[in-house]
């Protein structure tokens, strides 16, 4: 059953939500009774994979949380798979590198349990944050570890692009998004399967999942976490920023096209109107003013048609 999202993105610290005492013991008890599947997508992380697995195992065993860990080696060319096989977890692999999202989909499809936790293998996300996220898994459709804690080590060169993409996503989704593409999150396997057909195989898997849930009025909770220096080299390249930008626009057009087409048409209309006013002083109506009005009308018409198609498509998916 789909939950109704609050008017604004719900953000709060776990300390304010779950104090010591009965409520905390109740939340811990629920976690123990509900098993979870931990999905770790990995590509060329031989230096970090064993340490990350051991950290997750230690935290979950300490909290008494029943779990399985699935490592998906996405065609690594180093000793990642060999290292992972030395542990007592389930290891799956792709014969060739298909992408971060493809590895996540493989792991989630193979998960035995409905509650799924995704976490990267490079040591950036703290394993001890997983139980905190799980405390809200029943109340929200997705719980995200937002990298807004007291110790966040994001390379400075990435910050401008991340800020721009986040602000664009917030405008198009109409929600506050503290962390657009965090790799640490808790979600329902059935919910991922519902949007499986639009989830990409690249790094934009998490971005698409976030926007898809917001555009369909699901609820998302953001829990502040720290973000450590990664072990090894990053797999993200400058060109990925462009891919994220296209992905955000494509996802919003898919679910809420008027958010894109109305402003674009408005820009053309404003340009045409400004030229029309200028032409009045010259007593000569130019073709550029007419083209501005005509272009705005066409874009708005396409937007309205796209919106009707999106609503019909959403209605058919809900049946």
Tell me which CATH homologous superfamily contains domain 10-255: Spore Coat Polysaccharide Biosynthesis Protein SpsA; Chain A (3.90.550.10)
pLDDT of residue 280: 84
DSSP count for the chain of H helices, then E strands? 12, 8
* pLDDT tens track, the chain, 319 positions: 444 434 333 443 333 334 434 444 444 445 556 899 999 999 999 989 999 999 999 999 999 999 999 999 999 999 999 999 999 999 999 999 999 999 999 999 999 999 999 999 988 999 999 999 999 999 999 999 999 877 776 666 667 777 888 888 888 778 889 998 899 999 999 999 999 888 888 778 888 899 889 888 899 999 999 887 766 555 555 556 677 677 777 777 777 788 888 888 999 999 989 988 888 888 788 888 889 889 989 998 988 888 777 666 555 454 4
**pTM (two decimals):** 0.72
Q: Is 10 helix (H, G, I), strand (E, B) or coil?
A: strand
What are the sequence ranges of the domains in the chain?
10-255, 258-318
pLDDT of residue 153: 65
Contact 236, 267 (CB under 8 A): no
Q: Going by C-beta distance under 8 Å and a sequence separation of 6 or more, which residues neighbour residue 237?
A: none
């Amino acid at each position: 059953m789909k939950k109704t999202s609050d008017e604004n993105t719900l953000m709060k610290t776990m300390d304010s939500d779950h104090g010591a005492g009965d409520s905390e013991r109740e939340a811990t008890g629920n976690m123990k009774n509900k098993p979870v599947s931990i999905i770790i997508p990995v590509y060329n992380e031989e230096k970090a994979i064993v340490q990350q697995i051991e950290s997750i195992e230690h935290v979950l065993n300490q909290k008494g949380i029943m779990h399985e860990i699935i490592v998906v080696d996405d065609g690594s060319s180093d000793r990642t798979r060999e290292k992972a096989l030395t542990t007592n977890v389930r290891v799956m692999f792709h014969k060739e590198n298909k992408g971060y999202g493809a590895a996540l989909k493989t792991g989630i499809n193979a998960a035995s349990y409905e509650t799924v936790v995704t976490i990267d293998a490079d040591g950036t996300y703290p394993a001890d944050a997983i139980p905190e996220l799980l405390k809200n898994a029943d109340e929200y459709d997705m719980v995200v570890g937002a990298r807004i804690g007291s110790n966040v080590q994001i390379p400075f060169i990435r910050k401008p692009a991340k800020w721009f993409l986040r602000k664009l996503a917030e405008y198009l989704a109409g929600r506050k998004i503290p962390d657009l593409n965090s790799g640490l999150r808790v979600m329902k396997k059935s919910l991922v399967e519902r949007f499986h057909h639009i989830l990409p195989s690249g790094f934009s898997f998490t971005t698409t999942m976030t926007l898809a849930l917001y555009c369909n009025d699901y609820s998302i909770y953001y829990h502040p976490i720290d973000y450590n220096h990664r072990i090894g080299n990053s797999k993200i390249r400058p060109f990925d920023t462009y891919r994220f930008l296209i992905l955000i626009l494509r996802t919003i057009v898919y679910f809420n096209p008027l958010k894109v087409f109305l402003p674009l048409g408005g820009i053309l209309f404003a340009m045409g109107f400004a030229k029309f006013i200028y032409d009045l002083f010259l007593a000569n109506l130019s073709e550029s003013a007419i083209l501005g009005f005509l272009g705005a009308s066409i874009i708005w018409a396409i937007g309205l048609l796209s919106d009707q198609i999106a609503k019909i498509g959403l209605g058919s998916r809900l049946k």
